[in-house]
Every structure is written in structure tokens, then in C-alpha cells.
A and B are shown apart, each in its own frame.
Chain A
Amino acid sequence: MSKMHVKLNVNGREVEGLAEPRMLLIHFLRENLRITGPHIGCETSHCGACTVDIDGKSVKSCTVFVAQANGAEVTTVEGLVNDDGSLGVIQEMFREHHGLQCGFCTPGMITRAHRLLQENPTPTEEEVRFGMAGNLCRCTGYQNIVKAIMASADMLNAQKEAAE
């Protein structure tokens, strides 16, 4: 099958490559770019393990062709680490509040939580639960994930206030 040229920005870095038109974004990220944070859990958009951020929206990268992300800005969980290599706020809060166990859903969860808190910086617990409902976890029962995201919101808001 003939390949097409794709160019996108992933985690602040310009990347380009050749891909079959049918290639899914998740496979391009994982196999071509070796960005293996986003995982494949269902390939039907239900589980959210493959969630990435495309131009400011949460997207399940298992049901998007890489061609559709041509020219886009893509952020994965790897891109949410601080510049000095330390864990970002949401990553740290997931650790602090035991918001993960096997870790397989975690990259998608954190990437989705990152976008959720951009969309709604002061969510209620109900809003967090609704906003995260596209991401499945089999280990945690969500209680500590919700706790971690609420704590992240508080911390991010405190940081923003301190900066102002």
C-alpha cells in the first residue's frame, strides 16, 4: 500500500514520517515514534487507554488515522512531565492519592484529566466523574482517581493564584 507523508507536533517536537493512509494514530505514536505511553485496550473507543490530546481536545487515538492528525499538535502523557523531568501536578497527585494500580489506563486517564481541568478548572466531584467517564479502569474503582483529580485542580489553581 502506498504511503503518505505526515507531519505533526508531538509533545512540542516536530515529527514527520511515512504512513499508510489506514494507519491509526495510536500505532504511529507507539510503533513509529516509540511513544508508548498511550495504550491499546479495546480498539473501539470505549476504554480510553489510548487517549491523547489533539489541538486542545481529548481524542481516542485508536480510532483516528494518523492522516487526520496531520499538522496537528498532539500531547501524550509523556508531554505532561515538567521541563526538569519531574512529574507534572496531575501525575504527582495520581501518585500521592494512589490513583493507579497496574498503570495501563493511567496515561489515558492523566491525559484526559489534563484536558478536563483545562475545560473546567474548578470541577465538582460529579463533574469529574462525568468528565472521566470515557476512560475505563479495572483496578482502582475510580475513587482515588477522582480524589487525585480534585487535588490536582486545587493545586493547579493555587499555582495559578500564586503566579498572578
Chain B
Amino acid sequence: MNDQSMTPEERAANLKGMGCSRKRVEDVRFTQGKGNYVDDIKMDGMLFGDFVRSPYAHARVVSVNKEAALALPGVVAVLTAEDLAPLGLHWMPTLAGDKQMVLADGKVLFQGQEVAYVVAEDRYIAADAVDLVEVEYEELPVLTDPFEALKSDVVLREDLEGQTEGAHGPRKHHNHIFTWEVGDKDGTEAVLGGAEVVAEEMVYYHRTHPCPLETCGCVASMDKVTGKLTLYGTFQAPHAIRTVVSLISGLAEHNIRVISPDIGGGFGNKVGAYPGYVCSVVASIVTGKPVKWIEDRMENLMSTAFARDYWMHGKIAATKEGKITGLWCHTTADHGGFDACADPTKFPAGFMNICTGSYDIPTAYLAVDGVYTNKAPGGVAYRCSFRVTEAAYFIERMIEVLAIKLNMDAAELRRINFIRADQFPYQSALGWEYDSGDYHTAWDKALKAVGYEDLRKEQAQRVEDFKAGKTRKLLGIGLTHFTEIVGAGPVKNCDILGLGMFDSCEIRIHPTGSAIARLGTISQGQGHATTFAQIIASEIGLPADDITLEEGDTDTAPYGLGTYGSRSTPVAGAATAMAARKIRAKAQMIAAYLLEVHDDDVEWDVDRFAVKGAPERFKTMKEIAFAAYNQAIPGLEPGLEAVSYYDPPNMTYPFGAYICVMEIDVDTGEWEIRQFYALDDCGTRINPMIIEGQVHGGVTEALAIAMGQEIAYDEMGNVKTGTLMDFFIPTAWETPNYTTDHTVTPSPHHPIGAKGVGESPNVGGVPAFSNAVHDAFRPFGLVQSHMPHDHWRIWKIANGLGLHG
């Protein structure tokens, strides 16, 4: 392949670099059951940990009696807060600047909270022992409504009593966590006061859960001889976990090795640190044996990292013609018993201030109040970038509500308010600089693709037929144009626990022209081993098939902040390109030496450096790699490797236009997706096959959230959706086929122009499905109805509108 008979295009194709739908290298292992997930790990003498959990949402823990459990053969230890307190480990810091009980310290704040940790020789004995631990509780009044919590005399967090200052400013009430304000309050209120039209609505985005198919878990293994702790686990941010473990345990960071093996889906659930990790580490240190802890599904849904639960009160102002003049939003954020949101430090409500969306809104104001309730802690970005999905749902609902108020077509209302292509880089009223976009082009393409005008005609006819008694099915057309903000982020304003949110890549070229690259991120199904090799292949001209990718081992990979918030491609992908370019720069000097010309007299040509004007005189990257290791080149060190730590100058702003066409049975509340069209613009496309797969998966998660998936509580704080019987995950049967499409507007500040795509389909999908439901009932007067739109709730909408006769 190095001979000159091949065209540059043929040589480029051989690399399987950027832009090609390279088949995934991961799949050979996974398809034959040879993945290596954390529960696959088995070590000599390994013990199993299991939790005693609270059946109550709010109660005092009067006593814990371990005797019967400890008497069971095979039980090694039972840990309680009392055992952890001397180590200072009965509480742990959260990612949001709060603290959380590792094991119940006198009281419990949510159903499923960890009360005691049992360690036994196998998982069956551990489960038996959990049943034998006797805990006496004294029930306390339960608060599950954040609005009630802010008025109640009941103090949830007695440990914070008297503290009027929280991690994010003043606390207004004993159940209040923070107020976060962005934008121009007075200006926005003035606009609202003088506006020709104002639409107002409460938009609730219900509590749900990322529910990856693999639950959270870990294996902690303390080697008492070397003093080194190895912690295997389902960690989306292994380096951050290492630092956190070091800070809270006191173990020196170099004596901690964190390994994320294959991860069975994350979707935000595996970003945080959980009591199971802390207890397993302690148990391994105490026993000197490896200790495994794996959640079951009920524990996963009840205790680790919920998502959403935002009550978003909105007001949107416009002219009679539909030009939006201002946006106001007050959000009440239910954070549960502890504030364990996974957000960059300076953003206690994440990037909720992207809620002006795709629209040129001159004045805006956002305030968010965080509230404690008797629900599980969390607040992670379930397949989204730090509350972006809440923001996108809010603005896409407000646009629809405004369209109703104006009696205007919602597609046209969007079009006249889009930020124009010539306005980029665009400064939003709530403080972001959108990097690039061409919304009108994407929108027109999407409307044309679905035959929008014909759909509206069909819908009007359907309404006539319905009124005439000819059909009982309505047609909904759900529109969404979303703008994401991903790739957190610039270290100057993004950190988690003080760790700047850069990311990294180290590349080593081997003498024979193959390579290994290691990154600070960790794939959970995104196919990093496939796609990052493609970036390197295109940058340095070695075939992707000859490049090994490694992630997840903190002893070998460079420090990075991990994979969530669609940040891998925007940040680590950029680091990969930059590390590759360092290698190419050195390769250029080596090539020039070998070709006996000046450095500036050679030029890059796909997989080689050739002498300018004499393309027959060249050195391939493979030849250069060998020379790097066997030639003494004056002024150059031997070897060919590079590392890059990339601090992005800005976020990236992927966008898209999604349209859902839904049939709804008025009498049963059943729905059917007739068509779903998803146009994504994620900038430069690295692997179209993987992008399409990400969109299919993300839209399906959006389908779940919009149409039925929730973590619901009763008034006693009991979780009503704690198993997969109750917690909706669509099967192949109710999931439709999707049509994917794209435009390409590269990011101007990213080395390869890529923006990231993994979370766009969730962010865009939820409003598309929800708007379809609303749109079906719009002709009958529906303005707003909260998700999830399960059959019962849709039936209730129809019933409430008098459609059942």
C-alpha cells in the first residue's frame, strides 16, 4: 500500500480514518460473550458486600442489631455508621458540594438508603445476613413535594441546621439548598410587562432514571503487602474516582489504581461516587481480601442517581407577529435527601441556562431553587449534558404554548425566531457563546423530508373525521429544534470538585508502525476504541486497524475527567487530534532528515511526507516510525510518542431538527409512532454508522422518558417504580424505526470540527414525542399536560377534554 500506484484517495480509504463507517473493533469480544464487565471479575478469596436498606423514606434509626447476622456462618462483618465514624467515612462529599451519609447516621432520608453493609463469603450468604440485621426505626413525617418542603416545619437535614450558607450561596429555608440566578431579572420583567403577548406555563420534567442494563458495582482489592488499593468499578470518570478515593480515605493517590473495565451502559448513572464504593474499600482494607459489591436492579432504581425532577415555571413574551422578545423561567429543582447532582461546580443547575434554545431571544432570566425532599439523591445528566434536556424540553414546550396563544403554526414560529447563520458566533442572553449553526437550513430540510404541509392537511382532515365520528384516532405532529451545549469544558469555568474539565490522550507509535493510544475517557458503548483510532489514522496516516485504544486504567491512562455530557469527542477527541499532530510534527523532521531536505521542503500527503514538487520522493509514516527508533537523528530524541492535555476554548453546540408523527387512540390512550425523523448536526462526522446508532439509541431513551418511564413515589415516599415491571423500558415491539439525516456545520474551535452527538437524540427526542401528544390534542384545547404520557395519562387528557362523549 505504500507504492505510488495507489491514488491518495485509495491510500486514505485504506486507513479507515475519519468519515468512514468502520466496523467496531469491540464487537468481536462482545458478540461471543468475552466482554469483561465488573461482575465478571473473580479473585481468590473474594468476599461479597450487600446493603441493609431503609424501608422508610424518613425515619430515625433507633438501633441496629448485628448479632444474628454475625452469627450466620460465612458472614465476615457488618458495618454501620458507628464503625465508619472513627475513620471519618460515615459521610462522604458529593459532587455538588454537599455531603451524603455513607451509612445511616442516626436517620434516613429516602427509601432504599444504605443503613448497614454486610460482608460475607458469597452473595447468597450476604443476602441472608441482610435479612438478619435488625434495625429499629422511628418514622418521621415525609416530604415528597418540593413546594411543600419549602414551607414545612419538618427539618430534613438536621446536620445542616443553622447553616444559612450553602455550597452555592444563601439558603432561604431549612429544606432549601441553593438559588442560582442568571440573566437580567429586571430587564426581563420589564419586557414581560410591556409585551403584546405573554404565554405562561408550568412545565414539569418528571423524575426518571438512566437505568443502564448493567447496574453499578465495584471490586475493591487492598494488597496489604504493597499497600496498594485496586478498585475496579463501573466508573464513567475513573481518574476523578481515584482522586476522590484518595481525598476521603487518606490513601496516597499513587497507591490507588482505579480500573473501569467494560461498562454495560452508563447514561450518567455511573458518574457519581456511591456508598457501595466506600464500604467496599473499607471492607477490603479491614479484611485484607477483595470485596465485590453489585447492585441489584431495585437498588439501582431506588438509590443511585436519578435524573430530572424539575418544575419549570415559564413566561415567554412576543410581538403579535410572533417575534420573541423575552424569556423568564423559575425552576424548582427536587434534589432528594442529599445534593448529589453531577454538575460543574459553578453550575448548580448545570447548563439549564441554555434554555433560550435555538432562538434569538434578546432578554432572558433564569432562577433555580434547589430543594431537599425525602427522595433519593442524584440529579445526573441522563444522556444529556448537565440539565440540557430539561432546558430543551422547557423552551420547546414554551414555543408550542406561545404558538397556541398566537394561534400560529409552531414550525413558522420557530423559523422566524431562529438565530440566523450569520449571527454565529452568537452571544446568548444567558451567557453562552454558541460556536456555529445553520438552523434554517436544517429546519427546512426536515420539514421538506416529512412533507410537513401535507401532514398538517392530513391532520386537519383527521380532526374533521373525528368530529364527524368517522375515526377515534388523532394525529399529532411533534416538532423540535434543539441546541445542545456539550464538551465541558473550558477549565476557566468548568470543574468538578476542583478538577478542571480538560481531557487527554497519549499516543505511542511502535517501531513497526503500529500504535497504542490511551485516553482519560471511558467508553460505555460509544465505541471509542473504533472512533478514536479513526481520528489518529487520519491525522498520522497509520491504518486504524493498527492502532490499539485503551481507556479506564488510571495507572496507564493520562488524567482525564471521563465520559459523560457528550464530552469525549469534543474534549478527548480534540486531545487525540492534538497529540497526533505533535507526532506528525516530529515525523516531519525525521522525514526531512531521511530525505535529506529541509523540514519545510516536505509536505504531508495522506500517509507520508513527500518532497515538495517531487512526490516520488517520500517517506511513509511506517518508515518514519522505524527510523524514529533506529536512527540517530541530530537534534532529535529517539522514539515517537506524544501526549496532549486539551483544555477546550469553548463548549460545542450540536443541534438538530426532530419531527415525530404519532397516532393516538382517544379511547385507550394508546399511541403509535408512525414516523420519526431525526436530523442531527454534530459538526464533522467521524463514523456515520456509530452516529446513526447513537441517534437510534438516544431517541429510544427519549421515547421511554416521554411516554412512560418515571421514578414515582407515593405520599409515604415509597418508590412505586422499583423494578423493570413498573419502570418503562421500551422493547423491540413498541420501538419504531427511525429515519436519520444530517447537515454538517463544523465547530470552528475544535481541531477536527467535531461537536459530539451521543446525547442530542435524548435532548431532542423528548420534546418531539411530548409535543406530538400535545399537538394531537391542540385542536381540542390542550395547552399543557405533564409527562410521562403513558396510556392512562393520555386517556385522562382525552377524558378531560370531553372527547369520550
Residues of A whose CB lies within 8 Å of any CB of B are 20, 22-23, 27, 30-31, 34-44, 46-47, 49, 76-78, 80-81, 87, 91-92, 94-96, 98, 100-107, 110, 128-130, 132-146
Contacts and interface: CB of A to CB of B under 8 A. Distances in A.
A149 to B, nearest CB: 9
B700 A95 contact: no
Contacts of A40: 39, 294
B749 to A, nearest CB: 28
Given A141-B699, A146-B732, A36 B33 contact: yes
A142 B732 contact: yes
B265 A139 contact: yes
B214 interface: yes
A39 B214 contact: yes
B794 to A, nearest CB: 22
Contact of A37 (B34, B215, B701, B729): B34
B735 interface: yes
A140 B696 contact: yes
Given A104-B264, A141-B696, A98 B689 contact: yes
B724 interface: yes
Contact of A77 (B33, B265, B699): B33
B37 A104 contact: yes
Listed from nearest, the 4 A-B pairs whose CB atoms lie closest are A37-B33, A102-B525, A104-B264, A103-B30
A94 B28 CA distance: 10
Nearest to B694: A101
Interface centre among A41, A110, A140, by most chain B C-beta atoms within 10 angstroms, is: A41
B265 A104 contact: yes
Nearest to B735: A142
B697 A138 contact: yes
6 contacts: A41-B215, A42-B724, A43-B296, A98-B24, A103-B31, A139-B265
Interface string B25-67: 0111111111101011010000000000000000000000000
Nearest to A40: B39
A129 B267 CA distance: 24
A136 B696 contact: no
Contact of B724 (A23, A35, A44, A105): A44
Interface centre among A43, A77, A130, A142, by most chain B C-beta atoms within 10 angstroms, is: A142
A20 B214 contact: no
Contacts of B417: none
Interface string B193-233: 00000000000000000011111000000000000000000
B732 A132 contact: yes
Contact of B32 (A23, A27, A87, A144): A87
Interface string B713-750: 00000000001110001011101011000000000000
B263 interface: yes
Contact of B693 (A101, A103, A110): A101
B510 to A, nearest CB: 26
Given A49-B213, A95-B28, A136-B729, A76 B33 contact: yes
Contacts of B123: 27
A122 to B, nearest CB: 18
B124 interface: yes
Nearest to A134: B731
B490 interface: no
Interface of B: 23-24, 26-35, 37, 39-40, 42, 123-124, 211-215, 262-265, 267, 294, 296-297, 524-527, 689-690, 692-694, 696-701, 723-725, 729, 731-733, 735, 737-738
Contacts of A94: 27, 31
Given A133-B732, A138-B265, A96 B213 contact: no
A24 to B, nearest CB: 9
Contacts of A35: 33
Nearest to B262: A103
B26 A103 contact: yes
A107 B265 CA distance: 15
A123 B565 CA distance: 39
B31 A91 contact: yes
Contact of A78 (B33, B294, B526, B697): B33
A106 to B, nearest CB: 5
Given A95-B31, A138-B211, A139-B265, A101 B525 contact: yes
Nearest to A23: B124
A27 B733 CA distance: 29
A146 B738 CA distance: 13
Contacts of A78: 32-34
Contacts of A34: 42
B214 A41 contact: yes
A144 B646 CA distance: 34
B793 to A, nearest CB: 22
Contacts of A138: 211-213, 265, 267, 697, 701, 729
B693 A140 contact: yes
B448 to A, nearest CB: 23
Given A95-B24, A144-B693, A146-B732, A44 B212 contact: no
Nearest to B695: A141
B627 to A, nearest CB: 36
B762 to A, nearest CB: 11
A103 B723 contact: no
Given A91-B32, A133-B732, 18 more contacts: A22-B124, A31-B42, A44-B723, A46-B725, A87-B28, A95-B24, A95-B27, A95-B31, A98-B24, A102-B264, A129-B735, A132-B732, A133-B731, A136-B729, A137-B213, A138-B212, A143-B735, A143-B737
Contacts of A137: 213, 697, 732
Given A132-B732, A140-B697, A143-B696, A102 B214 contact: yes
A103 B264 contact: yes
B524 A102 contact: yes
Contacts of A81: 32
A20 B26 CA distance: 36
B23 A95 contact: yes
A141 B729 contact: no
A20 B700 CA distance: 40
A37 B32 contact: yes
A78 B31 CA distance: 9
A67 B707 CA distance: 40
A81 B263 CA distance: 23
Interface centre among A35, A128, A138, by most chain B C-beta atoms within 10 angstroms, is: A138
A40 B27 CA distance: 19
A130 B699 CA distance: 20
A47 B724 contact: yes
Contacts of B294: 40
A71 B137 CA distance: 48
B124 A20 contact: yes
A61 to B, nearest CB: 13
Nearest to B729: A136
Contact of B733 (A20, A49, A103, A130): A130
B297 A139 contact: no
B724 A136 contact: yes
Nearest to B39: A40
Contacts of A128: 732
Contacts of A107: 33
A104 B690 CA distance: 17
A41 B213 contact: yes
B214 A139 contact: no
Contacts of B699: 141
A36 B40 contact: yes
Nearest to A77: B33
Nearest to B29: A103
Nearest to B125: A1
Contacts of A139: 265, 525, 693, 697
Given A101-B526, A138-B213, A106 B738 contact: no
A115 B23 CA distance: 26
A20 B731 CA distance: 34
Contacts of A20: 124
